[in-house]
Structure 1
Amino acid sequence: MIQPQIVLLKEGTDTSQGKGQLISNINACAAVVEILKTTLGPRGMDKLIHVNNKVTISNDGATIIQLLDIVHPAAKTLADISKSQDDEVGDGTTTVVLLAGAFLNAAKSFIEDGVNPQVIIRGYRKACQVALKNLRELAVPLEQKQDMDSNRRVMLERCAQTALNSKLIENQKEFFGKMVVDAVLHLDRDELDIDLIGIKNVAGGSVTDSFLVEGVSFKKTFSYAGFEQQPKKFLNPIIVLLNVELELKSERSNAEIRISDPSKYQAIVDAEWKIIYDKLNLIVDSGAQIILSKLPIGDLATQFFADRDLFCAGRVPEVDLERVAAATGGQIQTSLRDLNEEVCGKCSLFEEIQIGKERYNMFSGCPEAKTVTLILRGGAEQFIAETERSVHDSIMIVKRCLQHNAIVAGGGAIEMELSRILKEYARDVTDKTALIISAYAQAFETIPRQLAQNAGFDSTDILNELRAKHAKGGKWYGVDIENEGTCDTFQKFVWEPAVVKSNSIAAATEAACIILSVDETIRNPKSEGLPDQGTPPMAR
């Protein structure tokens, strides 16, 4: 008897499942790793990504992977963990992708031999727990003191410089390392809100012309006639921050006005002028010398303030206005009826200066000092943009150092030590996961191997030497980029926050487990953005 055919899915739906699907997903992730792996480390290469008319040059893993426009559903998981690593700790975005790819590649042979994916996942999760436990034990706590002494500051600067080792501004890492630590230490110690660190890019000049403003600086806003007559420098000014529009508005645009006597029209016009003048007089009576507003300040108000030797700026970006409030102790007002000393801000110096071809308003000597601004210079837009990304990573690293107070050695040292520990642990495991844990441990060697390859060294010799050093108790030995060999990277001050490593290991393991748990992919024929049938796993 012939069984009737049951049509469950719409015609044109593409389904693939089983071992072949798992291998296909692993290969798609390997294609992403292949793109990113040459960017790892101090000798990593940059990628030039051309999207429409925008050109980006970067070796930041999160930036590259977001610009790749990956459409393969499994490979997008790597893009997600790279972004999460960037959001959470700010650095290690390439490392997390390479680790995930190594874990998947290690699992590939087991899948081909018919091992159930759940057995691999169970082994990986057990190994991850052991690795994170040992990482916490290996981490070296930073010295805890009430005041930020010189030794602690040196540690923070070295962590900041390590984050810049693999960046475009590596040769200026000492210059920027000091600047980054200064910036983070100006923040509130409890919150460490990095949104209060403003970064402004100004084309022109050398990268070493960059500087730190202990306060707020923002680009001169759009201004009306009369602005040129306003003073551009104040000592100890009183600052009013507003969310109020100071423009002469025609009231007929807000309401319908009917008059029976044409002579009364002048009274309506006079009322409109009285409204704006009342607002301006309230501001002047408050004693304010600098008026900043998120909303427009029109030509009438600009000239009004200029005649009284006051400075004003309208259409100030909200983020900059909030940073001025945090620095000066002022409060943003939506009404002008209660302007007093308590809601006004103060600083020791305000001035408008020329930086490159732009004019910038600067507030320095602020009493609260909870915010700073980094002015980044450079010859090309792409170079400045990459400098900004590099400085952001370094800022995040210093922030995590202050929050978690534990560091480990970089240069592949911690990965080699965890690999050794896990291999020893696997010898005591009696079930079939022993081989899987051993393969997981082997995958950690991807990081030092790639560091050596990117520097042009013989990675086999370097790995053999590192294995010998770690077997003899040299737990902090990693790749010596400068002298083509191995060295104690802790003594060389190549330091990284332990939280960066723990987050990357946990995220990479979880991503590998998610991909290994998928045994079927169903593509709806109407789905947008997916490659057509027959298109290679990595598309567009």
Structure 2
Amino acid sequence: ILDQIAIKVDPTDKAMLKKIATVSLASKLLAEYEQIADLTVNAVLQVAEKTEEGGYKVDIDDIKVEKKPGESLLDTVLIKGIVLDKEVVHPGMPKRIEDAKIALVDSPLEVEKTEFDAKINIENPEQMKSFLDEEEKMLKDMVEKVAGAGANVLLCEKGIDDVAQHYLAKKGILAVRRVKQSDIEKLVKATGAKIVSNLDDLKAGDLGKAALVEERKIGDDKMTFVEGARNPKAVTILVRGGSERLVDEAERSIHDALCVVRDVVRDPRIVGGGGAPEAEIAKQLRGFAQKQEGKEQLAVLAFANGLESVPVALAENAGLDPIDIMVQLRAAHEKGQIWYGVDVFEGKAADLKEKGVLEPHGVKMQVIKSASEAAGMILKIDDVIASAKSKDSPGPPKHDGEGGEEGASEY
């Protein structure tokens, strides 16, 4: 029934997706901030990829939500790139590079220690000097390989030695160390770079591109922004707010909005909100029940009554009379007004599709499936307990003192 009444929409229709996001945010802290709904829609559409079947696939993990207390919620922004909660490693390095060519390295720029214990006997100062010079030469060669590939930005998952930092600064290369693996993977999608494990293999084709890589001070901390890629398939939402708690709440609200928008882009079907689909399904199930024989009819009617608990709960929570509301809803649905639901602001049944209260079809379907499975599971548990009792103690329980120890243990 839900599949039949669902409305097909264009998965790239920003106005429709914004309505879906706004409904998700309506009961939360961000209800008044309209631009947050726009921001979540733009973020999902940016990372959406077309499939061979003609649909879209969206991975929410490609949208990084970075929190930073300070400023206000209005300063929350979408960055078409990645924000790293790291600073540039050396003060002598440039803090801003335009037309960046980015190398992503997951091996350290340090002198490797041997896996076994080794002892070196040095007999004179010249040997010590040549040993240190060789270490420095190895680090300098690493930097030369990075520069030789044409990179002017180095983002490293591991550490960068102080000597290597010095040579990178001399070459004018901006470097960031100890970048999280998850951020490195997002940078691959955002910049088109390839992760290199061995600097000997680094070549110009492995470099990613971005219009700008810049270190900025956000609040009390310095962060590195990688933005302006041509078609980034990973983006960042930088959440700002007056306090830590406010920022945490905003992050949860944005995550919910991203999920519902993603659901509609994946499965472009929607239904009305406010208990309208539940009321319509209940009406059709009652008609179906009349054609059933035996106890199946009672089961179908009970299922229909269960679905109507959604608009009843909405009416009760809004301080309305649930009986009046249900009478209005049933009358409207009998006339074929399938999107009539509970309008909590007007205090009556109304066409919620016209009012822009919309929900993803996939979410509604999952709610009904999950509720049915949970009810079935509880009923099965009850059966197991009842049968266990009937096997162990067919008669009434004995009181203390009757039947000795065996009776006492049974009780």
For residue 520 of structure 1, the aligned residue among 384, 387, 394 is: 384
Determine the C-alpha separation between the residues in 1 that align with 2:292 and 2:243. Answer: 56
Answer yes or no: is 1:452 the counterpart of 2:315: yes
Deviation larger for 408-417 or 390-399: 390-399
Number of the residue aligned with 2:16 = 155
Cα offset for 1:285?
1.9
Number of the residue aligned with 2:2 = 135
Task: For 1:248-287, list aligned pairs within 5 A.
Answer: 248=111, 251=113, 255-259=117-121, 261-262=123-124, 264-287=127-150
After superposition, what is the alpha-carbon deviation per residue over 1:338-382, rounded to whole angstroms, capped at 9, x for unaligned? 322210011111211222222221122102311110011112222
Instruction: Describe the SS at the equivalent of 1:348.
Output: strand
Deviation larger for 382-391 or 251-260: 251-260
Answer yes or no: is 1:402 the counterpart of 2:265: yes
Q: Mind listing any 5+ residue stretches in structure 1 that lack a counterpart?
A: 1-133, 523-540
Answer yes or no: is 1:332 the counterpart of 2:195: yes
Determine the C-alpha separation between the residues in 1 that align with 2:318 and 2:216. Answer: 43
Task: For 1:161-310, list aligned pairs within 5 A.
Answer: 161-172=22-33, 174-190=34-50, 191-221=57-87, 227-248=90-111, 251=113, 255-259=117-121, 261-262=123-124, 264-310=127-173
Determine the C-alpha separation between the residues in 1 that align with 2:352 and 2:255. Answer: 24
Cα offset for 1:215?
1.2
Determine the C-alpha separation between the residues in 2 that align with 1:286 and 1:254. Answer: 33
Q: Which amino acid aligns with 1:137?
A: Q
Cα offset for 1:315?
0.3
Instruction: Describe the SS at the equivalent of 1:374.
Output: strand
Determine the C-alpha separation between the residues in 2 that align with 1:211 and 1:475. Answer: 38
Number of the residue aligned with 1:86 = none
Determine the C-alpha separation between the residues in 1 that align with 2:43 and 2:14. Answer: 12
Cα offset for 1:252?
6.3
Answer yes or no: is 1:489 the counterpart of 2:355: no
Instruction: Describe the SS at the equivalent of 1:479.
Output: strand
1:259–1:265 Cα contact (<8 Å) kept: no
Percent sequence identity over aligned pairs: 33
Normalising by structure 2, what TM-score? 0.87
1:329–1:368 Cα contact (<8 Å) kept: no
Over 3 Å counting, the alpha-carbon distance change for 1:261 and 1:303 in structure 2 is: closer
Relative contact order, higher structure (CA 8 A, sep 6+): 1
Q: Mind listing any 5+ residue stretches in structure 2 that lack a counterpart?
A: 51-56, 389-411
Deviation larger for 477-486 or 378-387: 378-387
Answer yes or no: is 1:318 the counterpart of 2:181: yes
After superposition, what is the alpha-carbon deviation per residue over 1:220-256, rounded to whole angstroms, capped at 9, x for unaligned? 24x65xx22221111101111101111345x467541
Determine the C-alpha separation between the residues in 1 that align with 2:139 and 2:374. Answer: 59
Determine the C-alpha separation between the residues in 1 that align with 2:217 and 2:130. Answer: 45
1:248–1:300 Cα contact (<8 Å) kept: no
Instruction: Describe the SS at the equivalent of 1:511.
Output: helix
Determine the C-alpha separation between the residues in 2 that align with 1:273 and 1:355. Answer: 35
Determine the C-alpha separation between the residues in 1 that align with 2:49 and 2:204. Answer: 27
Determine the C-alpha separation between the residues in 1 that align with 2:345 and 2:94. Answer: 53
Determine the C-alpha separation between the residues in 2 that align with 1:252 and 1:509. Answer: 60
Determine the C-alpha separation between the residues in 2 that align with 1:520 and 1:273. Answer: 73
Instruction: Describe the SS at the equivalent of 1:212.
Output: strand
Number of the residue aligned with 1:100 = none
After superposition, what is the alpha-carbon deviation per residue over 1:479-526, rounded to whole angstroms, capped at 9, x for unaligned? 11222222100111111111111111112111211221123369xxxx
Determine the C-alpha separation between the residues in 1 that align with 2:338 and 2:158. Answer: 58
Deviation larger for 454-463 or 265-274: 265-274
Instruction: Describe the SS at the equivalent of 1:342.
Output: helix
Instruction: Describe the SS at the equivalent of 2:91.
Output: helix
Determine the C-alpha separation between the residues in 2 that align with 1:237 and 1:254. Answer: 40
1:326–1:368 Cα contact (<8 Å) kept: no
RMSD: 2.0
Deviation larger for 499-508 or 444-453: 444-453
Number of the residue aligned with 2:401 = none
2:136–2:163 Cα contact (<8 Å) kept: no
1:412–1:478 Cα contact (<8 Å) kept: yes
Determine the C-alpha separation between the residues in 1 that align with 2:91 and 2:322. Answer: 63
Cα offset for 1:454?
2.1
Task: For 1:414-429, list aligned pairs within 5 A.
Answer: 414-429=277-292
After superposition, what is the alpha-carbon deviation per residue over 1:16-71, rounded to whole angstroms, capped at 9, x for unaligned? xxxxxxxxxxxxxxxxxxxxxxxxxxxxxxxxxxxxxxxxxxxxxxxxxxxxxxxx
Determine the C-alpha separation between the residues in 1 that align with 2:145 and 2:296. Answer: 76
1:216–1:371 Cα contact (<8 Å) kept: yes
1:480–1:486 Cα contact (<8 Å) kept: yes
1:239–1:291 Cα contact (<8 Å) kept: yes
Cα offset for 1:141?
0.7
Number of the residue aligned with 1:385 = 248
Cα offset for 1:421?
1.1
Determine the C-alpha separation between the residues in 2 that align with 1:338 and 1:446. Answer: 63
> If you compute each CA radius of gyration, which structure gives the higher value, 1 or 2?
2
Task: For 1:25-36, list aligned pairs within 5 A.
Answer: none
